[in-house]
Amino acid sequence: MRVQDIALFINNAVFRDGLVNRPCSEWPPKSKFNIAHDLWVGKLNNELVEMMFEACEPPGYWEVKPIRQFSQLYAFVRELDLDYNSPNWYSWDTDERLQTSIALSRLIKPISSHHYSARVIYDSDSQTVKTISPYQSNDTYGIGIAPNWLTTGDLAQLAGLVTLFFSSNFHEIGRLWRAFCYYELAVRSLLIDVKWVFIVTAIEALVQLGRGGSALRDFKTRVPHLAKISGIQFSASDAAQAFKLKSGIGHGEGFPRLKRGAYDQENKDIPESDQQFMILPTKNNYKLELYRRTEDVLRNALMKAIREEGFREVFTTPRGIKNYFES
């Protein structure tokens, strides 16, 4: 019987910051875009969209329907053919293939997103919706990404990345898999101090061999090397600053207060005591800029490991890491 696992992304980001004036090449595809034989990205029919909203946003005791000021942007869809007696009949994305593909898209562009997730079960005619089983989704939070959605070019990259990921031994290499999972935890976190800990920890999973005093030394020398192969400017001083910030946050010192900038006026009514925990749209802020570059180093390293077997094999043994970064 036809079954679809769906992650429906909404278009609330489109109407912010004048993004509606972007050229067509910077918009999501209007038609169905195949990512793999069983995965595609595109728009659902409006009737199914409304049914998913209804299923994922129950009206509550008084049956008051929420007023929505958004609609669909696009959906990630996985096509399945399941037997009614399947033990996972009502469970969404049980093997996490759909979720992993969405996580891979965030390596290409770390967008902020809110999406509704559900399993849609069709009747025997494969067209009539029989059941919609909602699933609790996880929002993601990017910093300064525009446009805040995947374009046709991004999806073309994603198709290649998905094929390589699922045909490789990436998930069997502990360091790479831990770094990938830590990155996913980072993008699901709203607070920048939490993000910082996960991002730096993910990079440490790739480069660290020693403990104690050698941890900072390894990070300072190896992260600029990772950055260089991706064409990212990242000095030993940047690496030391990123590491020390993570260490301070991890030991309870908190994240240093963000500086006020020309783009902070919309936040002028927020108490300063709260601002240190928020991602503010400041341009003149070294730590935010450093965070973005640190994240870029990690994303590009993970994508390179997915695409290149030789680079992937570096992380299979401590000796491989030592030889690579000291050669």
Listed as ranges, residues in the chain with pLDDT below 50 are 259-267, 270-284
DSSP letters for 227-270: HHHTT----HHHHHHHHHHHHHHHTT--PPPPPP-TT-GGGTTS
pLDDT tens-place string over residues 212-226: 568 889 999 999 999
Report how many domains make up the chain: 2
Q: How far apart are CA 279 and CA 304, in angstroms?
A: 28
The pLDDT tens digits of the residues spanning 93-118 come to: 999 999 999 999 999 999 888 889 99
Instruction: Establish if 163 belongs to a structural domain.
Output: no
Give residue-wise pLDDT tens across range 32-85: 999 999 999 999 999 999 999 999 987 778 777 778 888 899 999 999 988 888
Backbone angles phi, psi at 49, to 5 degrees: -60, -50
The whole-model pTM stands at 0.87
Same domain for 131 and 6: yes
Let me know whether 185 and 238 are in one domain: yes
Domain assignment of residue 299, yes or no: yes
Both tokens of residue 48?
């199914």
Query: Does residue 89 lie in a domain region?
Result: yes
Q: Which of 123, 158, 193 delimits the end of a domain?
A: 158
Residues 84 and 214 placed together within one structural domain of the fold? no
232 in the same domain as 117? no
123 and 203: one domain?
A: no
**pLDDT recorded at residue 57:** 86
Which pLDDT does position 265 carry in this prediction? 46
175 lies in which domain range?
A: 169-326
